[in-house]
Amino acid sequence: MMTEGMFTNYFLPGIWITIQVTLYSAALGLVVAFAIGRLRASRLWIVRFLAGCYFEIFRGLSALILMFWLVFALPVMFRWQLVPLWAAVLALGLTYGAYGSEVVRGALAAVPAAQREAGIALGFTRFQRLRRIELPQAWPEMLPPFNNLLIELLKGSALVSTVTVADMTFAGNLVRLGSNESAPIYTLLLVLYFVMAFLLTRGMRLLERRAKANVGQGRLRASLAPREEAGEGHGALTAGGAR
């Protein structure tokens, strides 16, 4: 029988570890995604090539095997031991970041070329155009695919239980060994992952709605302020007088 003590002593800390692993990996993944995603559109072919290599390699690596490698092979090969939690975060962040770079690259490429030209015409530097014009417009487009990746990452974080990181899957396996109650334990795990994924999705939706409103795409706002075609012309006349 699963007791309350099992939940508070094993599952609760496990949930916290799962949240930590997910957030840290997401943060690392986000940095990797933006860096690699932007560099893949670099003017310099060598930078494009290297960033492309990163993408191809880490997309093709199994996060699980990379984790094993970091935890079990790295210490043997280089006499350098990572804390299992950070090895896990590294493996997840680097691989999911590769997927994320594709999202960033695609969203940046989808910003109309005319926006770049307007930026040039106003004298902005490359970096200013990226930061003030291109990224703010691409950001809302990135959020739905990022949400997918984040959910994948949350569920993928269960892999860390295989390298002795005591996340909630690890806790479930531990409790099962002690109690032999497979059915309630795995059902509980399923529900826990689902609830966390659901909450993440809600949060991301909120973020998306806010991001869209910030680029003038808010549905509500647009419908409340209809275009004012009829008023055209008057403004120009008063403009002449205003001089």
Q: Which of 9, 1, 10, 5 is nearest to 168 (CA)?
A: 10
Task: Verify binding: residue 203, other proteins, rule CB under 8 A.
Answer: no
Task: Verify binding: residue 207, other proteins, rule CB under 8 A.
Answer: no
CA–CA gap between residue 21 and residue 217 (Å, rounded)? 34
- Rounded to 10 degrees, the C-alpha dihedral 164/77/56/36 comes to 80
Task: Verify binding: residue 183, other proteins, rule CB under 8 A.
Answer: no
Please count the other Cβ atoms lying within 10 Å of the Cβ belonging to residue 51: 20
Q: What is the phi-psi region of residue 226: left when phi exceeds 0, alpha when psi lies from -120 to 50, beta otherwise?
A: beta
The CB-of-102 to other proteins minimum distance in angstroms stands at: 23
Question: Where do the H-state alpha helices sit in 72-181?
Answer: 74-78, 84-109, 113-121, 126-128, 135-156, 168-179
Task: Verify binding: residue 117, other proteins, rule CB under 8 A.
Answer: yes
183/225 with CB nearer other proteins: 225
46/121 with CB nearer other proteins: 121
Alpha carbon of 31 to those of 26, 57, 67, 152: distances in Å? 9, 17, 19, 17
Segment interacting with other proteins, rule: CB under 8 A, options 9-17, 77-85, 133-141, 182-190: 133-141
CB 196 within 8 A of CB 186: no
| Candidate residues 81, 125, 148, 164; the one interacting with other proteins per rule CB under 8 A | 125
Task: Verify binding: residue 4, other proteins, rule CB under 8 A.
Answer: no
Please count the other Cβ atoms lying within 10 Å of the Cβ belonging to residue 140: 19
59/209 with CB nearer other proteins: 209
| Candidate residues 45, 46, 123, 180; the one interacting with other proteins per rule CB under 8 A | 123
Q: Would you say the C-alpha torsion 109, 140, 31, 125 has a positive or negative sign? A: positive
Looking up tokens 């795409």, which residue turns up? 217
Task: Verify binding: residue 136, other proteins, rule CB under 8 A.
Answer: yes
| Candidate residues 8, 203, 215, 219; the one interacting with other proteins per rule CB under 8 A | 215
60/226 with CB nearer other proteins: 226
| Candidate residues 3, 128, 164, 187; the one interacting with other proteins per rule CB under 8 A | 128
Which 218-237 positions form the footprint of other proteins (CB under 8 A)? 221-222, 225, 227-229, 232-237
Structure tokens at 180: 């032999």
The CB-of-223 to other proteins minimum distance in angstroms stands at: 10
Task: Verify binding: residue 42, other proteins, rule CB under 8 A.
Answer: no
- The SS3 of residue 121 is helix
For other proteins, the binding residues (CB under 8 A) are 114-115, 117-118, 120-126, 128, 132-133, 136-137, 214-217, 221-222, 225, 227-229, 232-240, 242-243
